[in-house]
Structure 1
């Protein structure tokens, strides 16, 4: 099988903990180029992986040395870099949120369509075993009609693991555009769409900066969401959870309640109306505090899709639908109204 030549653009934490090690562990991949505006960081990373260091993404995408790139930069650069790479005939794996506006997301999808190359967005929650099992149980009708849900993603904040600590781009509005809601909330909108198998159509949101006085983006958000069939539930995204990370989702159905990533041993617990409880031990979810144990499966899936010419599970269109919910939440918070997605 052909070796895929990969370039990684942005050498911060997500590249160091996820993309680079997962590419390095994949037998079909050769990491040939890395890029970061911080020259020292680019050189150090290049040395570690035997790659060529770049400080300009334009140079890297035009170098003719790579087949595909991972875009692991601050949010505001996701669209320009992805579009430049697609126009240069490269496949793109882009971190989430895919863009900072609907227009940017549409431009990325158009660039992918025009080039005929793959565009995948790195929403890793779809690859978590408990989430896949829950989707199967719901789809099969085993849980009956779904009434409600609540999902949360919270931890103490990016300063603990970001390459630049409190100086990180995560806290700067012009680079991040959005805080916890974009960093964590978009993971959960993508998860809910995937597990429930339907679109979110309305959002009511409160988005605040309450824990990080040094940040000019939100750190705590709570949203009420409604799906096309009328399922209602809540989503909380926060950088203000100081104890243990919370990455749990609970789905309330007619025949059972599904608890996902809510129990430290059993990643899925199904509590049936008749009193029966089924516990699934499906392996732990990826978390920042677990030292990045296990693979997120995102990189392997991307590589497989490129090598075997398959459609990725999270296309640009899917990424855009998950982003649209976040954009609606921002609008709802600003206008103090329920916003249609």
Structure 2
């Protein structure tokens, strides 16, 4: 049995709740090293997982012979640390959004290609059972032509679960570069591309900070998107949905409507124009709330892609296309004009 040695750089909430436990649960993985600028946090995590402890990621990359690295850092560090890890000869799983600009994303992709290593972006929504089933139904033509959609991802904000609470880097523009739209909206941008199987060409963004005081990023954002075939819909991201999380998507088509994570009991409800209703119980979506999906499947997919030498579902190129939607929304919010996204040839 092949064992991969893993390092996790950044030991905050996403590392402690997703990456580390999911690596630990994978029989092909040995967690060799962890790194965090907060030494006490790194030591605590290192003790739990029996891993070497670092506070400097460059030292870790120099000293540790690992196969792959998870980058679980504030957004502004995603690109530089991923590039350094790729150049050091390691496969990289990077949290989203993958970078703070298209140029950074392109540098990450180039570093992966030049060093023959895999780069995967942790867009977990593609692995949610209801989303996988919905993609199957849309691709099979069961919904007929898709006309429109609405998708939303909102909760009370990172202060409830981030390692630093109200002092979280999520609220600081110099570290996060973007707020709810980057934290949550990029997930939905990626999901819509996956579900619809086509790219978006135009985005209009309304990006606001109207709920939380003393933060320098957005906490409420709504976008209007248009795809290359003319599907139009809305995408909302919010840190002001109290008290409950909303992680729902609705797809409106010629022959019916799909409601994803929109019903308290059924993760997918298909309502057809002929009167048929099909309710699917497919397991819960990953959530910050109690009782959410226990395994994101991101780690297992990343590990499998390395062991089997296959292309991960969310490559650097895929991550960049989803990032570009968010960047377009930001531009639109600043200029008050519709952002035209580059048409991607498939």
The answer to whether TM tops 0.5 is yes
User: Hey, what does 1:191 align to over in structure 2?
Assistant: 191
Distance 1:17 1:315 in 2: 23
**Partners of 2:284 and 2:292 within 8 A in 1:** no
Task: Provide, for residues 92-150 of structure 1, a one-character-per-residue CA deviation record: whole Å limited to 9, x for no partner.
Answer: 00000000000000000000000000000000000001101111111111100000000
Show structure 2 runs of 5+ residues with no match: 342-346
Instruction: Report what 1:219 is aligned to.
Output: 219
| In structure 2, C-alpha distance between the alignment counterparts of 1:265 and 1:32, rounded to whole Å | 40
Corresponding residue number in structure 1 for 2:157: 157
Per the TM alignment, residue 65 of structure 1 is displaced from its structure 2 partner at its CA by 2.3
Partner-residue secondary structure (3-state), 1:204: strand
* Distance in 2 separating the partners of 1:37 and 1:293: 29
Q: Which residue of 1 aligns with 2:98?
A: 98
Aligned to 1:50: 50
SS at match of 1:207: strand
Q: What whole-Å deviation, never above 9, does each CA across 1:301-340 have from its counterpart, x for those lacking one?
A: 0000011111000000000000000000000000000111
Q: Distance in 1 between matches of 2:294 and 2:127?
A: 12
* Number of matched pairs: 341
SS at match of 1:337: coil
- Label 1:73 to 1:310 Cα distance change in 2 as closer, same or farther (>3 A): same
Q: Deviations over 1:18-47 (max 9, x none)?
A: 000000000000001000000010011000
Deviation at 1:64, TM superposition (A): 3.5
SS in structure 2 at match of 1:271: strand
Whether the 8 Å CA contact 2:267–2:283 is kept in 1: the answer is yes
Counterparts of residues 196-275 of structure 1 (less than 5 Å): 196-275=196-275
- The structural deviation recorded for 1:292 is 5.1
| Superposition deviation, residue 290 in structure 1 | 2.4
Alpha-carbon distance in structure 1 between the residues aligned to 2:199 and 2:286: 25
1:291 positional shift: 5.3
Structure 1 distance, partners of 2:177, 2:156, is 19
Q: Distance in 2 between matches of 1:88 and 1:291?
A: 38
Asked if the contact 2:261–2:268 (Cα under 8 Å) also holds between the matched residues in 1, the reply is yes
Q: Which ranges of structure 1 fall in alignment gaps of 5 or more residues?
A: none
1:286 aligns with 2:293: no
Aligned partner of residue 70 in structure 1, secondary structure: strand
Please give the alpha-carbon distance, in whole angstroms, between the structure 1 residues aligned to 2:64 and 2:25: 24
Q: Secondary structure at the match of 1:20?
A: helix
Q: What's the TM-score once normalised by structure 2's chain length?
A: 0.98
**Stretches (4+) displaced over 4 A:** none
Q: How does 1:42-191 map to 2 (within 5 A)?
A: 42-191=42-191
SS at match of 2:192: helix
| Superposition CA RMSD, Å | 0.7
